[in-house]
Amino acid sequence: METKYIGEHLLPGQLGHFFAVLSFIASLVATIAYYNAVRAKEAPLEASWKRLARWAFIIEVVSVFTVFGILYYILYNHYFEYKYIWRNSSRTLETKYLLSSFWADQEGSFLLWSMWHCVLGVILIFTSKKWEAPVMTVVSFAQLCLASMLLGIYILGYRVGSNPFLLLRQAEENIGLPWTTSPDYLSMIRDGNGLNPLLQNYWMVIHPPVTFLGFASMVVPFAFAFAGLWTRQYKEWIKPGLPWALFAAMILGIGVMMGAAWAYEALTFGGYWAWDPVENGSLVPWLTLIAGIHTLLAFKHTGQALKSTFFFFLISFVLILYATFLTRSGVLGDTSVHSFTDLGMSGQLLVYMAVFTIPGFTLLILRRKEIPDVKKEESTYSREFWLFVGALVLLIAAIQITFTTSIPVWNKLFGLNMAPPLEPEFHYNKIQIWVAIVVGLLTAIVQFLKYKDTPRKQVTQKLLWPTVAALIITVLIGWLGRINFDTYGAGFLVAIYIMLFASVYAVIGNTAYIFSGLKGNMKSAGASVAHIGFGLILLGALISSSKKQVISMDRMNMLGTGFFGKESKENPRENLMLPRNFPVQMGDYHVTYAGDSTAAGDPKTYYVVRYEKKDPASGAVLEKFTLYPDAFVNTKGEEGLTPNPSSKHYLTRDIFTYVTAVPIKDNGSDTAKYSQHEVQEGDSIFFSNGYMIFTGLQPQPENGNYKPAPGDLAVGAQLQVYTKNDEQYKLQPVYYIRDSTYQYSVPDTLFPQSLYVRFSKIMPKENKIALEVKEAGAFSDYIVLKALVFPYINVLWGGVLVMIVGFVMSIYRRLKRN
């Protein structure tokens, strides 16, 4: 007899899965129809196939947006019978983060990617004219691959995709568990698992949509390049394809820099870039596409470097797919904070990558001799020669980043045991700084060169004053700003000063070119403006990194060398302990920890940190402000802290503050140990300043550090505490079983007495429980803080905005020419 489950809302899930399957079928029909439209010999037949393809693609678009709407509907209504909703949301989640939970997991992010493909595909249908059929064949096929990621059906015993509308009781990991067979299992689910606190940030709302638009838009330059090879129209695709390449580079670049801003504000990398594998996965295809754009410009004016352009446009999208594989296959393991767990789609992701890589590069190899080329040696005083050199430098940068990022892949593929670099920043920086130097210098010089050849005297004359000005400004910045970077030794300092010159040169050189080369014609200055922005990014990164200062120096050695444990990367000397309401000198400021607070529905704790700066002579208060760094204290069986920084922003600097430790759990900073006591109801346990009585068990425990999850079996030990000073307190440590397997203990703490109590075991035969008690000798009302000053960080963010403006100007100009 079939079990009837009470309270389930099945219709939305059934409709959602139906439209997910429909989108797959419609994209398959669109791909086949567009393919046949390209192959058709007669105009009426071509028009007929194209008409069918358009209708199929429109159906696909409607299906994808319907899936999005239904998934958001069940998310908004907290239908926790669906696994995706239970895993990624909760009733207490703020409404603004519902979208964040939508794309927090694999299925939602694939759907977001697919939605952007739909939008771009509709635009291409109306704008690409004669290129519609071959380009949309590729786009529709990309949609087919993405649609397959949402199917969640078995074909010949292999699961294709993951169904976002899978019921919680149908999930493989839950089948066979007792609660899944109960008709009223929904009554046992009080709330969802919730969204990772690290993702409860406004950047999670805006960064993924922009990044996935960048991912989606990268298929369009690939599609135009592939269409050119496929139809043997090797040159004709360049003009309509260039604006799309610029758009893809701009959007992906914005996504990369949004990720940098998120890292700066929320992920506590100690800055905006940490060479995280997923950061690298987005950066590398951007580098190769930028290289391709520049070789394309060389071809437009000289007829050279077309093969290179094909290569760069093809490899850029392939690298997007490779980055997707790295992120979602689970191969990165613990090497990235971004990586998803493997949902069993690794093979499918590899197939997705192969079906674009193999045909694209096979056509390029087979038809390489047909691709037009100019058999003429380039002058070293020609613009195209140095554009090609710059493209090669960017390719070298991409290779180095990709090779190191892929170390887990090489280990798995070839059975190796290579270790990722212990100091990723130094490993990458020692190579990439020279890439930045070369690219910075080239952006300053190349625009003064003409295509094909430039008289040497003319080059010297045009570059003289920008070079002199850049040298003077570099010396002034280095001297007055006392630029240094002794972290990696004196040898690295030489590279720092060369990069400083290259950055300044890029800004000065391109500014000079706008007025001398372009005669102030801003309509044609898009490339120069983008290069100015790039130079400012390099300059801001250099100054803020080299002048970054830790002001939370522990000069009294209060923490000790082993405070953070062996696994932590924190340096105890760079962290300051702040007892509550006790001002501590930190740099030019007196800093006071004034307490903490929590809000209903918010899993984070907010710490109030007050800064005050006084005149040393008069004692007058010169400045005062309050920062609110927050942290999520992990209570799900693993000790740890997930902090979010708070920053004070000035025009010329930021003060960046975050909490690195709080006295919630035993972090090994004191030598006191737990003593075990087996007690039954009414028994007493004595400690140095009093005693506690076990008064009974509470089946619905209330402990601020315990966050219940569906299916938990939890119980609290009620303890009444009496001190020698006639003070009375209540404690309730919690013992719980999760997923019918894992056992956890959540301690309760009595801070005024430095008393910690854990509920470690239930002994039903003896009618007793086991409690562990510890008295910490040190004071317990404090936080440990790290604070850094990032000078002139706004130069970097300003450079990003300037570069975006340059891209927009270039895209507008190319569209007007079309």
DSSP type of residue 266: I
Q: Would you say 33 and 52 are in contact if contact means Cβ atoms under 8 Å apart?
A: yes
Domain boundary at 200, 225, 247, which?
200
Paired sense of beta strands 630-633 and 621-627, if any: unpaired
Position 50 in a domain: yes
352 and 219 share one domain: yes
Considering the domain architecture, whether residues 657 and 592 belong to the same structural domain is answered as yes
* Residue 666, pLDDT score: 46
Q: How many CB atoms lie within 10 A of CB 182?
A: 15
> In whole angstroms, what is the distance from residue 3 CA to residue 595 CA?
53
Task: Tell whether 498 and 598 lie within a shared domain.
Answer: no
Closest CA to 782 of 505, 600, 596, 641: 596
For 717, the domain range is: 675-775
DSSP 393-442: HHHHHHHHHHHHHTHHHHHHHHT--PPPPSSHHHHHHHHHHHHHHHHHHH
Residue 802, in any domain of the structure: yes
- The answer to whether 106 touches 343, Cβ cutoff 8 Å, is yes
**28 with 78: CB under 8 angstroms?**
no
What residues contact residue 438 under an 8 Å CB cut-off, 6+ apart?
Answer: 390, 393, 502
* Strand, coil or helix: 161: coil
Q: Are residues 307 and 234 in the same domain?
A: yes
Q: Please indicate, yes or no, whether residues 347 and 268 belong to a single structural domain of this protein.
A: yes
Q: How far apart are CA 583 and CA 591, in angstroms?
A: 5
For residue 669, is it within any domain? no
* 284/396 same-domain check: yes
Alpha carbons 511 and 531: distance in angstroms, whole number: 9
Q: Is 561 part of any domain?
A: no
**Is the residue at 555 inside a domain?**
no
> What letter does residue 453 receive in the DSSP assignment?
-
pLDDT number for residue 87: 86
DSSP string, 53-120: HHHHHHHHHHHHHHHHHHHHHHHHTT-TTBHHHHHH--TTS-GGGHHHHHTSSHHHHHHHHHHHHHHH
Distances (CA, A) of 412 to 349, 352, 415, 423, 430: 16, 20, 5, 22, 27
Which residue, among 666, 700, 674, 694, has the nearest Cα to 769 in the 3D structure? 694
| Single residue among 178, 200, 222 that ends a domain in this structure | 200
Residue 422 structure tokens: 């212990």
> What type of residue sits at position 149?
M
Does 567 reside within a domain?
no
Residues 264 and 303 in one domain: yes
Q: How far apart are CA 77 and CA 9, in angstroms?
A: 10
What is the distance, to the nearest Å, from the Cα of residue 150 to the centroid of all Cα atoms in its chain? 22
| Residue 557 within a domain | no
The pTM of this model reads 0.82
Whole-number Å distance between alpha carbons of 411 and 416: 4
pLDDT at residue 561 in the model: 60
Distances (CA, A) of 694 to 261, 513, 684, 716, 763: 50, 81, 6, 11, 15
Task: Answer for the pair 31, 98: CB distance below 8 angstroms, yes or no.
Answer: no
Residue 333 and residue 403 share a domain: yes
Q: Domain boundary residue among 391, 420, 449?
A: 420
Smallest CA-to-CA distance from 524 within 299, 241, 809 is with 809
* In a shared domain, residues 709 and 577: no
Do 810 and 785 fall within a single domain? no
Bridge partners of 783?
A: 578
With contact defined as beta carbons under 8 Å apart, do 228 and 234 qualify? yes
595 neighbors 578 (Cβ within 8 angstroms): no
Whole-number Å distance between alpha carbons of 482 and 477:
7
So what's the pLDDT on residue 243? Answer: 95
Count of other CB atoms within 10 angstroms of residue 625: 12
Q: Which residue type occupies 27?
A: S
Return d(Cα 738, Cα 707) in angstroms, integer.
12
Q: Residues 225, 186: one domain? A: no
Give the span between the Cα atoms of 704 and 136, in whole angstroms. 55
Nearest to 720 by CA among 710, 711, 730, 712: 730
Structural domain count of the chain: 5
Task: Please tell me the distance from the alpha carbon of residue 321 to that of residue 309, in angstroms, as a whole number.
Answer: 19
How crowded is residue 4: how many other Cβ atoms within 10 Å of its Cβ? 7
- Helix (H) and strand (E) counts for the chain? 19, 23
pLDDT along the chain (818 residues), means of 10: 80 95 97 96 91 97 96 92 88 81 87 96 95 97 94 82 88 62 80 76 85 96 97 94 96 92 70 82 95 94 92 97 84 57 68 94 95 82 92 95 90 83 84 93 92 86 92 88 62 83 96 90 92 95 85 73 66 84 85 82 82 84 91 57 85 89 58 80 84 89 75 87 81 82 77 79 87 72 88 92 95 84
My answer on whether 785 and 803 are in the same domain is no
428 in a structural domain: no
Give the H or E element holding residue 614: strand 605-614
The answer to whether 278 and 207 are in contact (CB under 8 A) is no
3-state SS assignment for residue 450: coil
